[in-house]
């Protein structure tokens, strides 16, 4: 049971290049999330997928697209990278709705550190 | 807009002391509040959560207190250990029926440093 895995771990892009960040979970969770974390800040939600076949925008969706390929996989695409997208990207998964205490755990991957020059 | 924030960006304690990390929130409609721990180079890890109709919840060496009157959340860590050194984030979960249902809004984080 690997939990949440992300690839790649590190990536350097030039402005205007595109790339896809991959995320997979083996916990049979319905919901998956993409966050970005900038220095000195908490995580901000980019996109999420409440269940297979659905995606929705989070707090900072501009410049990104997502695909919920199947229940296990949720990818994040940068079509034309910009320096402002330099960040650490975290994928997470969880069971929702989580009616009881202790059920609000989102399991996070190790992160992808992206630099756009 | 709604936000979750922290009072103290850094906290240094001696090993064995108790630590208290504070968080202010503004969205009264959130139904759960959660604490996460993030060690250097890793993703956040769930610590404990509390429902909005509770005042206190205890886990292993940790206690979360919720004061809805002043919209304040705190995490108490007993007998703090060097392994507790990390960034701690509070987060709030959007209530059922709200546009933010199921989504977490994170605060900025507090850096806890435990000196041996």
Question: How far is the alpha carbon of A14 from chain B, nearest alpha carbon, in Å?
Answer: 24
pLDDT for res B73: 95
Substitution target from B102, B106, B107, B108 for chain A, most A beta carbons within 10 A: B102
Q: What is the pLDDT of residues B24-81, one digit of tens each?
A: 987 778 888 999 999 988 999 999 999 999 999 999 999 999 999 999 999 999 999 9
Q: What is the pLDDT of residues A53-96, one digit of tens each?
A: 899 999 899 999 999 989 999 999 999 999 999 999 999 998 86
pLDDT for res A11: 96
- B103–A58 CB contact, under 8 Å: yes
pLDDT band at A104 (very low <50, low <70, confident <90, very high): low
pLDDT for res A101: 57
pLDDT for res A99: 52
- A96–B102 CB contact, under 8 Å: yes
Measured between beta carbons, which residues in chain B are less than 8 angstroms from residue A48? 102-103
Contact A70, A52 (CB under 8 A): yes
- Over 70: is that where the pLDDT of B1 sits? no
Q: What is the pLDDT of residues A33-58, one digit of tens each?
A: 999 998 777 899 999 998 888 999 99
- A45–B104 CB contact, under 8 Å: yes
Which stretch of DSSP H or E encloses residue A115? Answer: strand A112-116
Contact A45, B102 (CB under 8 A): no
As beta bridge partners, residue A93 has A32, A107
């Amino acid at each position: 049971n690997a939990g949440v895995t992300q690839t790649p771990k590190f990536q350097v892009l030039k402005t205007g290049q595109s790339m896809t960040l991959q995320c997979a979970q083996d916990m049979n969770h319905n919901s998956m999330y993409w966050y970005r974390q900038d220095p000195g800040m908490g995580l901000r939600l980019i996109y999420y997928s409440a269940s297979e076949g659905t995606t929705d925008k989070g707090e900072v969706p501009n410049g990104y697209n997502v695909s919920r390929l199947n229940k296990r996989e949720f990818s994040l695409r940068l079509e034309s990278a910009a320096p402002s997208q330099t960040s650490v990207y975290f994928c997470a998964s969880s069971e929702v709705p989580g009616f009881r205490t202790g059920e609000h755990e989102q399991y996070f991957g190790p992160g992808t550190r992206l630099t756009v020059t | 807009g709604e936000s979750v924030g922290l009072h103290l960006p850094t906290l240094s304690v001696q090993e064995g002391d108790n630590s208290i990390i504070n968080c202010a929130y503004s969205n009264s409609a959130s139904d759960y509040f959660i604490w996460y721990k993030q060690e250097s180079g890793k993703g956040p890890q769930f610590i404990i959560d509390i429902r909005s109709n509770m005042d206190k919840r205890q886990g292993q060496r940790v206690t979360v207190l919720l004061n809805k009157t002043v919209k304040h959340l705190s995490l108490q860590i007993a007998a703090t250990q060097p392994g507790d050194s990390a960034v701690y984030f509070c987060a709030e979960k959007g209530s059922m029926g709200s546009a933010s249902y199921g989504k977490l809004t994170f605060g900025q984080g507090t850096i806890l440093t435990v000196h041996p």
